[in-house]
Structure 1
Amino acid sequence: MISTALAHIPIGVVVERRKARSAWADTLWRPVLVFGGRPAANAWTWLGGCEDQSLFYAGEAIIELHRTEANNYRDNLLSGRPSVWVNMRPSASEPPYELRAATVDPAEGEAFTDAGSNLVEPVSMPLEVAEILRRFVAEHYVERPFVKRARVNRAQSVAIGPTEMPVSERESSLLRWARLKQTARSSEEGADELPETDRAVVPNRAEMPFDTTSLPPIDSIVADTDITAFLRAGVPPELTQVALRRAWTSDPAIRDFIGIAENQWDFNEPNGIPGFGAMAPLESSVDVLAYIASGGAPSQAPSEGSGAVDDPSCASTNALRLSLESTPDTSSVVGVKEAPQEQTGDSAAKRPRHGGALPT
């Protein structure tokens, strides 16, 4: 592939091998230095170090300079820390990495990281490389002023109407919607210009007077009063608000309710929080089950002293009531131990006690 670069800068790359403190890798590699020129040493020549850290000459790379990237080169020089991005690719054999490329373009250095597995590291730019790059920027950099394009208003440049226009200048769907909307508005304005004699007079229910005598008195509203009549159309809003306020203040569940707030109620008292206390004992559980078993028929318990049930339909209900109120016989239950009976007298005194030790 023919290169279009205007200049080439040969550099040498030095990498570091360091012992890793990890259970997943034994060593870590990273480029640490670049220098200008072509050394006579072979690639991956050991340069020195110790057991935990060693330096190697990884090989030679060529930095290509393009005129179209002069702006990026200039930004690199003005960044305060000019850098060279070194790209190394993992290999399947020793040495574990091979030198792929090097660049002084920050955008290209960021693109090196797209591979994911490659080792990309910026290192400090040598002075001789920085001087060559500075001369290249001075020769090829062109200041391009930023020009903001003016937005063209197609609604003003294209006439709205049935006139046929070229395909490239035909109105868009938005302009077509605006044209149709304007046509509909014009037709409505023409209808509004009809004489008063041609229009049918339709009475407005909101403007019609409302007969307040059909409503119940405000003072008669209590907690269970139906105030639907005050919510109908035509009722003055002030009267509706007065009726709602009267209904709310008459109901203690609404009037006395206070939202749950910390340190405001006595949480140790079962009935200390309005609306969250124990439910009122309206009926026993036996009555509820008897009502369900009878299919909704109300249960009629026999009067005291009577020995039979007059209504035969309540026989099953009363039988269920007796079975629920009687003590069950647990002698036939398998796998469950019976509760021990309470001992009295000497047997209770001789009962052994365990676990009497107290913590120190």
Structure 2
Amino acid sequence: MPVGVVLRRTPGVTRWAKWHWTCSAVLPGAAPADWKEMRREGEAVEYHAATPVLELHGAEAEAYLHGLSIAVPSLYVVMRAVHGQDFPYEVLLVTASPYEAQDYTDSGEEVVEKVPMPAGLVARVQEFVEEHYREETFVKRKRDKKRTDLTQDGIGDPRVGKAADVYASPALKRGRLI
């Protein structure tokens, strides 16, 4: 499903940052857009920055379930900073998986914004989870009965020929340690 990403630009609060950018909303089923201005309120401007496709995969159903179970179900918008262009971010993807979003935060190169999921999209993701999620049964590992402490499985490196245990303390020879 195509999902439009709305980025909001407001004046920065410090002299080092002229503008502050946040992801303010997502638009399910939006048409393609490339930084189309949507609304202006004084110096604050909202742009329909991009329309990536939200893909749901059956293998990620557990992650979607986790994302739906939080107080405010959310989508995660992953962006990368670009330099030398009119707008500071390139929208990479939109995901419903908090696990995938966390993977993108590990490198520190991408910006991940959490945006509340619209009610219609919550219902669609919930329907997908109900269809694809299969809870894995817990299987407790059983210990094997083999006793590993009964045999000594090596006294040092077998490639080195030694007559004695290599872990033994050094012997005294003529009053000195060797």
> Is the shorter-chain TM-score for this pair beyond 0.5, marking a shared fold?
yes
Question: What does 1:280-299 align with in structure 2 at a 5 Å threshold?
Answer: none
The yes-or-no answer on 1:22 pairing with 2:14 is yes
Question: What does 1:193-208 align with in structure 2 at a 5 Å threshold?
Answer: none
The whole-number CA distance in structure 2 between the counterparts of 1:22 and 1:51 is 18
Partner of 2:23: 31
Amino acid at match of 1:36: P
1:175 Cα deviation (Å)?
4.0
1:51 Cα deviation (Å)?
3.8
Give the strand-richer structure, 1 or 2.
2
The yes-or-no answer on 1:109 pairing with 2:101 is yes
Could you list the structure 1 runs, at least 4 aligned residues long, displaced by more than 6 angstroms after superposition.
none
- Report SS of the residue matched to 2:60: helix
- Report SS of the residue matched to 1:150: coil
TM-score, structure 2 length as denominator? 0.78
- Report SS of the residue matched to 1:135: helix
Partner of 1:145: 137
Give the unaligned 5+ runs of structure 1.
1-8, 156-170, 179-360
- Residue 76 (structure 2) aligned to one of 69, 85, 102: 85
The yes-or-no answer on 1:61 pairing with 2:49 is no
- Residue 41 (structure 2) aligned to one of 50, 74, 91: 50
Partner of 1:318: none
The whole-number CA distance in structure 2 between the counterparts of 1:121 and 1:53 is 18
The whole-number CA distance in structure 1 between the counterparts of 2:150 and 2:27 is 63
The whole-number CA distance in structure 2 between the counterparts of 1:32 and 1:154 is 60
Measured against aligned partners, the alpha-carbon deviations of 1:243-275 in whole angstroms (never above 9, x if no partner) come to xxxxxxxxxxxxxxxxxxxxxxxxxxxxxxxxx
Q: How many equivalent pairs are there? A: 153
Given that 2:74 and 2:115 are in contact with CA atoms closer than 8 Å, whether structure 1 keeps it comes out as yes
Partner of 2:67: 76
Higher RCO (C-alpha 8 Å, min separation 6): 2
Query: In terms of Rg, which structure is larger?
Result: 1
Partner of 2:151: 176
Given that 2:80 and 2:109 are in contact with CA atoms closer than 8 Å, whether structure 1 keeps it comes out as yes
1:114 Cα deviation (Å)?
2.2
Amino acid at match of 1:26: K
1:39 Cα deviation (Å)?
2.5
1:127 Cα deviation (Å)?
1.6
- Report SS of the residue matched to 1:28: strand
Given that 1:11 and 1:38 are in contact with CA atoms closer than 8 Å, whether structure 2 keeps it comes out as yes
Partner of 1:275: none
1:96 Cα deviation (Å)?
1.1
The whole-number CA distance in structure 2 between the counterparts of 1:73 and 1:26 is 36
Amino acid at match of 1:123: V
Partner of 1:131: 123
CA distance 1:53–1:175, shift in 2 (3 Å)? farther
The whole-number CA distance in structure 2 between the counterparts of 1:153 and 1:15 is 61
The whole-number CA distance in structure 1 between the counterparts of 2:87 and 2:150 is 66
1:115 Cα deviation (Å)?
2.9
Question: What does 1:227-266 align with in structure 2 at a 5 Å threshold?
Answer: none
Superposed CA RMSD: 2.0
The whole-number CA distance in structure 1 between the counterparts of 2:140 and 2:60 is 22
Given that 1:30 and 1:119 are in contact with CA atoms closer than 8 Å, whether structure 2 keeps it comes out as no
TM-score, structure 1 length as denominator? 0.40
The whole-number CA distance in structure 1 between the counterparts of 2:139 and 2:110 is 38
Amino acid at match of 1:45: K
Measured against aligned partners, the alpha-carbon deviations of 1:317-354 in whole angstroms (never above 9, x if no partner) come to xxxxxxxxxxxxxxxxxxxxxxxxxxxxxxxxxxxxxx
Given that 2:2 and 2:31 are in contact with CA atoms closer than 8 Å, whether structure 1 keeps it comes out as no
